[in-house]
């Protein structure tokens, strides 16, 4: 079942059930929105007021009134679900859009059983990983966020820059222990967005049950009082944290619903918040949320959000919100591990994710005045907090320190300081390649003088399918935007990986003003590389007068398929290699025949096939049952059984490019697989089974037999110990 765009009237607007940007339909409805609530946007506030009587007649209750009455969050009467309710609004010309009340989920890797050491993310001096005595998994000296230098620039113990309590930071989360001894002095006010009567919301934000610990943990990373002799230290020691509770229990699960989150955005705006922490997300694009965050942006309020924990490249998978909203004030944060790399669970993206911060084995507060640390790890105690949820509040705390030091700082400069101040990470690591800036360096962001901040905003390929192909000569179009000071004599040099030749020399832009955009074009040639599937990492080296220098990474996939042939590759050769997206173009359709894709491995793999563009997805890997975790995709065709062989058969259209994503659902390490792409004739009955691994599928790669013998004998080892990465 899909939410479809409904035309209200010819030439007018759309009534959108928005599962993804541009009306992309999603799947798994029951998991992604509340089936008895709606969010309705009217043409004007007056239209919303006039519709009140009609809503009451239909038995609908108004839970929240937003945007001065233009947006309404409604509860539906019994016996009416959200799908049926859309028909009641379809004929109303005063309605701009109707969408479900999407569910947002907390981006936390819940504490597991590895041992934990104290706050290495604030000061990393080689502390051992208490889950193992393997020195390779100890903290890398210097792989922290330079918190001490940020707090105490004079190095005299005065901690003059650790926070003066002047900045209001709204923390939107499930619930909060506002009496916690390490947090109480930094909490102000607060409201429960799930219990509002008009403009009045309940003041009690305490957890309703033990499962509502997330908000307290996030608040501890952000704003635990420092230098007070108890607990740990937050990123900012004195701050006005505004706790906004959006968690409620639904079917024995703690959820964060979008209607309550929207009310929290509005409450934060009305109560003077300067920064918002949003450690949550979900796969569904919400127009109402996009508009609300745009209003926050207009007010100069930064929204720092977690990138997510499903280990996908957000440049490719897209479906993660609010992290992937293209709004200047949205700052997306990945998590790093003790080795100063992107953590094994963290989502990433050199274009989509701004910065990273430590998000593994974090010491922080728990409800009832407790703490989560490594003191009793392995002895029945908790072993630390893991997740991008706990990386984001470090960045939020730094944003608050920037607001305190530079009270008039605009959004673009704040974002520029975070990105330009970041470290590229440990030598040989990936944090600088998988995010726009790298791992945050608090001291450098606070101290750096004004300079340009030229960011890479988009990459496009000038060919017929938008992807790289073997033997191809094409043009890369790189879109830049300068977020800070004027750049004079900007020089740009493209560096390509082995097997790709850059044919265009260094390019120069005489001037790129603050907030100005420009597009650079680089001609490249792709060799006939031996490896059939490759993620190619590029660097754009930027230099300008005055000593400005920056490196902007981006990634392109080289993975062409050919109808009638077989391809073979290996999933999860590294930490961030669980999704492979291939492409193929059908030049001519064959009368009476269909295209069939057969993929085989020794572990459970899934297939997502989409026409015209890669499928968007947000998939929680490794769950015992796919019905239990998040499994979202907008793919045109899917094969998602619990199988080691998957098949898709479809009518292929001529002159069309298709994109096939292969998913390593079990997260098996170094998982070989093969893909056959062949024409089949349904009347001959050859479309119901995949060909045997040693034959069929058209032209056979001469290496396939050896490869499949290796596949059959391969010993797989599944290792998912996030606290060890």
Q: What is the pLDDT of residues 543-565, one digit of tens each?
A: 999 999 999 999 999 999 998 88
Residues 388/310, Cβ–Cβ less than 8 Å: no
The pLDDT of residue 110: 30
Is the predicted pLDDT of residue 442 greater than 60, yes or no?
yes
Average pLDDT, the chain: 86
- Rounded Cα–Cα distance for residues 461 and 459 (Å): 7
The pLDDT of residue 396: 99
Rounded to 10°, the helix 214-223/388-405 angle is 40
* 719: number of Cβ within 10 Å: 10
Is the predicted pLDDT of residue 12 greater than 90, yes or no?
no
pLDDT tens per residue across span 399-427: 999 999 999 999 999 999 999 999 998 88
Is the predicted pLDDT of residue 722 greater than 50, yes or no?
no
* Reduced DSSP (H G I as helix, E B as strand, rest coil) percent helix, strand, coil of the chain, to 5: 20, 35, 50
- Rounded Cα–Cα distance for residues 612 and 658 (Å): 6
SS3 401: helix
**Alpha-carbon torsion 283, 28, 639, 680, what sign?**
negative
Average pLDDT on 133-158 reads: 84
- The DSSP annotation for 195-256 comes to EEETTEEES----SSTT--HHHHHHHHHH---SSSSS---SSSS-EEEEEE-EEEETTEEEE
Taking alpha carbons only, the member of 509, 510, 529, 527 closest to residue 519 is 509
Q: Where are the alpha helices (DSSP H) in 514-592?
A: none
**Alpha-carbon torsion 120, 234, 376, 383, what sign?**
negative
The pLDDT of residue 5: 34
The radius of gyration of the chain from alpha carbons, rounded to an integer in Å, stands at 26
DSSP state of 80: -
C-alpha distances (whole Å) from 179 to each of 205, 261, 309, 312, 322 are 11, 23, 30, 37, 30
Q: Could you give phi then psi for residue 56, rounded to 5 degrees?
A: -65, -40
C-alpha distances (whole Å) from 673 to each of 91, 605, 686, 687 are 51, 9, 22, 20
pLDDT tens per residue across span 155-203: 888 889 999 999 999 999 999 999 999 999 999 999 999 999 888 899 9
Is the predicted pLDDT of residue 579 greater than 80, yes or no?
yes
> Domains (ranges, CATH) in the chain?
6-106 (3.30.70.80), 135-156+168-447 (3.40.50.200), 454-558 (2.60.40.10), 565-724 (2.60.120.380)
Q: Tokens at residue 257, please?
A: 């619903």
User: Omega of the bond prior to 322 within 30 degrees of 0, cis?
Assistant: yes
The pLDDT of residue 3: 35
The pLDDT of residue 190: 93
Average pLDDT on 682-701 reads: 55
SS3 345: coil
Residues 600/644, Cβ–Cβ less than 8 Å: yes
Q: Where are the alpha helices (DSSP H) in 407-542?
A: 411-420, 431-434, 442-447
Is the predicted pLDDT of residue 713 greater than 50, yes or no?
no
Rounded to 10°, the helix 258-270/287-298 angle is 10
Q: Tokens at residue 174, please?
A: 């499930």
- Rounded Cα–Cα distance for residues 140 and 725 (Å): 12
- Rounded Cα–Cα distance for residues 666 and 362 (Å): 26
Residues 58/88, Cβ–Cβ less than 8 Å: yes
CB within 8 Å of 257: residues ≥ 6 apart: 34, 37, 101, 102, 103, 104, 194, 246, 248
Is the predicted pLDDT of residue 609 greater than 70, yes or no?
yes
The pLDDT of residue 35: 87
Q: Where are the alpha helices (DSSP H) in 429-535?
A: 431-434, 442-447
SS3 263: helix
Average pLDDT on 555-584 reads: 94
SS3 102: strand
* Ramachandran class of 83: left when φ > 0, alpha when ψ lies in -120 to 50, beta otherwise: alpha
What is the torsion angle, in degrees rounded to the nearest 10, for the CA atoms of residue 396, residue 233, residue 123 and residue 719? -80
Quote the percentage of the chain above a pLDDT of 90. Answer: 68
By CB atoms closer than 10 A (0-12, 13-18, 19+), residue 211 is middle
What is the band of 131 on the pLDDT scale with cuts at 50, 70, 90? Answer: low
Q: Where are the beta strands (DSSP E) in 246-369?
A: 247-250, 253-257, 275-278, 280-281, 302-306, 330-336, 355-358, 364-366
Residues 236/165, Cβ–Cβ less than 8 Å: no
- Rounded Cα–Cα distance for residues 359 and 612 (Å): 36
- Rounded Cα–Cα distance for residues 652 and 595 (Å): 6
Pairing, β 280-281 against β 95-106: antiparallel
Window from 10-24, 35-49, 191-205, 600-614 with minimum mean pLDDT: 10-24
Window from 276-285, 622-631, 660-669 with minimum mean pLDDT: 622-631
Average pLDDT on 317-343 reads: 96
By CB atoms closer than 10 A (0-12, 13-18, 19+), residue 609 is buried
- Rounded Cα–Cα distance for residues 356 and 336 (Å): 6
The pLDDT of residue 16: 39
Higher pLDDT, 56 or 665: 665
The pLDDT of residue 710: 35
HEC assignment per residue over 275-296? EEEECEEECCCCHHHHHHHHHH
pLDDT tens per residue across span 461-516: 999 899 999 999 999 999 999 999 999 999 999 999 999 999 999 999 999 999 99
The pLDDT of residue 179: 97
The structure's pTM equals: 0.86
Q: Tokens at residue 479, please?
A: 């879109």
What is the band of 711 on the pLDDT scale with cuts at 50, 70, 90? Answer: very low
Long-range contacts at 137-142 (CB < 8 A, ≥ 24 apart): 137/338, 137/339, 137/724, 137/725, 138/338, 139/338, 139/339, 140/338, 140/339, 140/340, 140/426, 142/340, 142/426
SS3 404: helix
Residues 355/444, Cβ–Cβ less than 8 Å: no
Taking alpha carbons only, the member of 386, 382, 314, 390 closest to residue 354 is 314
pLDDT tens per residue across span 278-293: 999 999 999 999 999 9
The pLDDT of residue 127: 65
The pLDDT of residue 375: 72
Tokens 């420009």 belong to residue: 518
DSSP state of 19: S
The CA-to-CA distance between both ends of the chain, in Å, stands at 39
Is the predicted pLDDT of residue 89 greater than 90, yes or no?
no
What is the band of 381 on the pLDDT scale with cuts at 50, 70, 90? Answer: low
**Alpha-carbon torsion 174, 180, 185, 190, what sign?**
positive
Which residues are annotated as catalytic?
A: 173, 214, 389
pLDDT tens per residue across span 98-121: 999 998 876 755 322 222 246 888
Average pLDDT on 235-246 reads: 97
């Amino acid at each position: 079942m899909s939410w479809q765009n409904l035309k209200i009237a010819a030439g007018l607007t759309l009534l959108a059930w928005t599962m993804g940007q541009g009306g992309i339909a999603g799947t798994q409805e029951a998991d992604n929105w509340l089936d008895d609530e709606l969010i309705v946007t009217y043409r004007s506030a007056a239209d919303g007021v006039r519709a009140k009587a009609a809503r009451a007649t239909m038995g609908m209750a108004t839970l929240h009134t937003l945007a001065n009455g233009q947006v309404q969050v409604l509860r539906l009467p019994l016996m009416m679900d959200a799908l049926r309710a859309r028909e009641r609004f379809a004929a109303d010309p005063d309605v701009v859009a109707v969408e479900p009340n999407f569910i947002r989920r907390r981006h936390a890797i819940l504490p597991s059983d590895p041992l934990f050491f104290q706050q290495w993310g604030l000061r990393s001096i080689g502390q051992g990983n208490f889950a193992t005595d393997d020195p390779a998994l100890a903290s890398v000296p210097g792989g922290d966020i330079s918190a001490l230098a940020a707090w105490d620039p004079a190095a005299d113990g005065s901690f003059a820059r650790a926070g003066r309590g002047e900045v209001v930071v709204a923390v939107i989360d499930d619930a909060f222990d506002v009496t916690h001894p390490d947090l109480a002095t930094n909490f102000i006010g607060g409201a429960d967005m799930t219990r509002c009567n008009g403009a009045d919301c309940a003041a009690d934000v305490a957890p309703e049950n033990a499962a509502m610990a997330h908000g307290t943990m996030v608040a501890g990373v952000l704003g635990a009082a420092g230098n007070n002799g108890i607990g740990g230290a937050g990123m900012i020691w004195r701050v006005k944290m505004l706790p906004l509770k959006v968690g409620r229990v639904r079917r024995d699960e703690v959820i964060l619903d979008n209607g309550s989150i929207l009310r929290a955005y509005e409450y934060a705006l009305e109560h003077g918040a300067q920064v918002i922490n949003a450690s949550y997300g979900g796969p569904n694009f919400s127009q109402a949320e996009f508009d609300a965050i745009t209003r926050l942006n207009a007010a100069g309020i930064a929204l720092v959000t977690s990138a997510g924990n499903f280990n996908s490249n957000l440049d490719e998978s897209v479906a993660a919100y609010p992290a992937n909203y293209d709004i200047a004030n949205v700052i997306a944060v990945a998590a790093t591990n003790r080795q100063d790399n992107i953590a094994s669970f963290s989502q990433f993206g050199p274009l989509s994710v701004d910065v990273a911060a430590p998000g593994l084995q974090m010491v922080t507060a728990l409800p009832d005045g407790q703490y989560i640390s490594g003191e009793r790890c392995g002895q029945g105690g908790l072993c630390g907090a893991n997740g991008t949820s706990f990386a984001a509040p470090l960045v939020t705390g730094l944003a608050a320190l920037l607001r305190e030091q530079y009270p008039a700082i605009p959004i673009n400069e704040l974002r520029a300081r975070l990105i330009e101040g970041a470290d590229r990470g440990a030598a040989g690591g990936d944090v600088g390649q998988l995010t726009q800036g790298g791992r945050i360096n608090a001291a450098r962001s606070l101290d750096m003088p004004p300079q340009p901040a030229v960011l890479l905003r988009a990459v496009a390929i000038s060919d017929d399918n938008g992807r790289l192909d073997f033997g191809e000569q094409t043009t890369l179009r790189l879109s830049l935007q300068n977020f800070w000071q004027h750049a004079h004599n900007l020089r740009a040099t493209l560096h390509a990986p082995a097997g790709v030749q850059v044919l265009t020399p260094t390019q120069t832009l005489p001037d790129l003003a603050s907030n100005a955009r420009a597009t650079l074009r680089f001609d490249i040639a792709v060799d006939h590389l031996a490896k059939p599937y490759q993620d190619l990492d590029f660097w754009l080296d930027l230099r300008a007068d005055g000593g400005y220098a920056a490196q902007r990474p981006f990634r392109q996939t080289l993975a062409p398929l050919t109808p009638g042939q077989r391809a073979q590759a290996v999933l999860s050769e590294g930490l961030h290699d669980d999704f492979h997206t291939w492409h193929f173009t059908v030049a001519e359709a064959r009368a009476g025949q269909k295209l069939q894709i057969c993929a085989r491995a020794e572990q459970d793999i899934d297939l997502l096939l989409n026409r015209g563009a890669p499928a968007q997805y947000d998939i929680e890997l490794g769950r015992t049952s796919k019905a239990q975790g998040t499994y979202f995709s907008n793919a045109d065709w899917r094969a998602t059984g619990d199988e080691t062989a998957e098949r898709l058969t479809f009518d292929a259209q001529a002159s069309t490019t298709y994109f096939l994503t292969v998913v390593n659902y079990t997260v098996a390490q170094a998982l070989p697989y093969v893909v056959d792409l062949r024409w089949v004739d349904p009347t001959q009955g050859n479309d119901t089974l995949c060909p045997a691994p040693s034959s069929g599928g058209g032209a056979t790669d001469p290496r396939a037999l050896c490869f499949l013998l290796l596949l059959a004998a391969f010993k797989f080892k599944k290792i998912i110990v996030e606290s060890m990465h």
